[in-house]
Amino acid sequence: MKPLTSDDLIAAGYEPGPAFKLMLEKIDEYEARGISDKKYALKLLKRDFAPPPPKAAMRTKPVGCAEAIEATGKDEKANLAKVRKSMSELLRTPVIARGAIMPDACPTGPIKAGMPVGGAIAVENAIIPSAHSSDICCSMFATFYEERSSVAKELDALTGSTRFGPGHRHLDDLVHDPVLDENVWSNRFLYGMRDRAHAHIADQGDGNHFAFLGETEVTPAMIALLRLARHDELAARLSTKKYRVLVTHHGSRSLGAHVFKRGQAVAMKHVGHKGQPIPDAAAWIDADSPEGRDYWDALQYVARWTKANHRAIHRRFLARIGGSSVAEVGNEHNFVWKRGDMFYHGKGATPAWKDPDGRPQLGLIPLNMAEPILLVLGADQDEFLSFAPHGAGRNVSRTALRKRFRDEAARRHAIESSTDGIDVRWFCGKPDLGETPIAYKNAESVKAQIARFGLAEIVTEIQPLGCLMAGDVPKPWLSREKELTPKQLRQIQHRAERRRSRQDLHDHW
């Protein structure tokens, strides 16, 4: 029988490391003494070395999950049932302490133990990459400024300041930002990705990402509320007048997607060593391991890059309209935050806790393109892990929505009627039914649930004027015409000749 190998030690639960060499040397001694039975050799190893840690396994029952959500109607109830199922699977993960779901919760597909949108978890000494999703640091950023021209002209300037759609900026139109010059690129999760990060500055992607123009009236009551919450700097920057507000929503683009991909691979390898079965979506990295520390550092850089990307778009827009920033506010909603000894993961969940100075966190909650964006103060409700919703959330998938509006005229009417009164632009040309207000939960209902569960306090509402989104982007492999090879052309010609011959024979008879 072959002696034990490194793979056998890993399968037995031992972590690779310096002790492996000593173990293999000890195995050689066993073999020299005539001990070749693997089970007996492992038993001796446990006597001579510290036994491997117990293999990890999913709990038999999930930990607790607080629900800050009310479902009414058939769609919402079906939606909530799927969310509960996926959260129940995820909350059996041994490193998770508890969970919560927000009013905007909606499922992300048939992924075992997958974190739903609007989900939040508290994790002990570990980071679960899938729980923050591949769109790391998907976030909101708002700039208050004084009106410079009409909404239409400002939307024209906004269109020239950002970019939507698949891919990245053209290499002749790249935008530089000092964040690219940080000394981070030796990190194992960021290595080799500086050019990728450069290509996506001033680029927002597609899907539900947007650039929103709105306005809000700053009142004495709003200033007083900000001062009461000790946000004195923001209160000092604002005057009691009406402001235009640019709000952008996007994540870390291809940079974050590749950091996630590398992190997920490390997490799956890590739990593979610890034992199975751990679903891929529940795989974690120990936070105090070398990989965990590098991943945490990479996440912090991705957060800085994403904020810089927001600011680059806002800076370019203000330069085009001849304006200047009065005040800025922003927050992440797909991320991991360390609070005390816990790592709080949110996937479509807005931080609503108090910062280290004891001030309620400021957050932006969009509802849909035709509804106001809420500027809120976090209520720090520990029961719900101190999160608030990140938006209104969906009740039906894009595919299901298209099936409900099969007729092109019906789709056009639904888009026009639901966006009446605002200037909506689609960067790639074609409207996207799946991003219109009919695709999302009722805005008033979500606001009511924020109040009922005490998740946040509304400071002001940014009223909609216009919105820019990617639109319905055709799949290149469906839309492009493929060039036929000479062989294919001959086959088509031969088939056509055979059809003509058969038709001629039929006509003759």
What residues form the annotated binding site?
A: 208-215, 249, 333-334, 366-369, 390-393
Distance of alpha carbon 53 from alpha carbon 456, whole angstroms:
42
Pairing of strands 456-469, 423-426: parallel
DSSP collapsed to 3 states, 121-161: EEEECEECHHHHCCCCCCEEEEEEECCCCCHHHHHHHHHCC
H or E stretch at 478: helix 476-479
DSSP collapsed to 3 states, 244-288: EEEEEEECCHHHHHHHHHHHHHHHHHHHHHHCCCCCHHHCCEECC
CB 13 within 8 A of CB 273: yes
Distance of alpha carbon 77 from alpha carbon 149, whole angstroms:
45
| Contacts of 274 by beta carbon, 8 Å cutoff, 6+ apart | 13, 53, 55, 56
Alpha-carbon distances, residue 178 vs 99, 194, 198, 201, 203 (angstroms): 37, 12, 10, 11, 16
DSSP 8-state assignment for residue 378: E
φ, ψ of residue 99 in degrees (nearest 5)? -140, 175
DSSP collapsed to 3 states, 294-307: HHHHHHHHHHHHHH
Distance of alpha carbon 199 from alpha carbon 309, whole angstroms:
11
Alpha-carbon distances, residue 84 vs 13, 56, 65, 102, 155 (angstroms): 32, 24, 9, 12, 40
What are the catalytic residues? Answer: 390
Residues in the annotated binding site for Mn(2+): 209, 249, 333
310 burial via Cβ count (<10 Å: 0-12, 13-18, 19+): buried
φ, ψ of residue 125 in degrees (nearest 5)? 55, 40
Residues in the annotated binding site for GMP: 208-215, 333-334, 366-369, 390-393
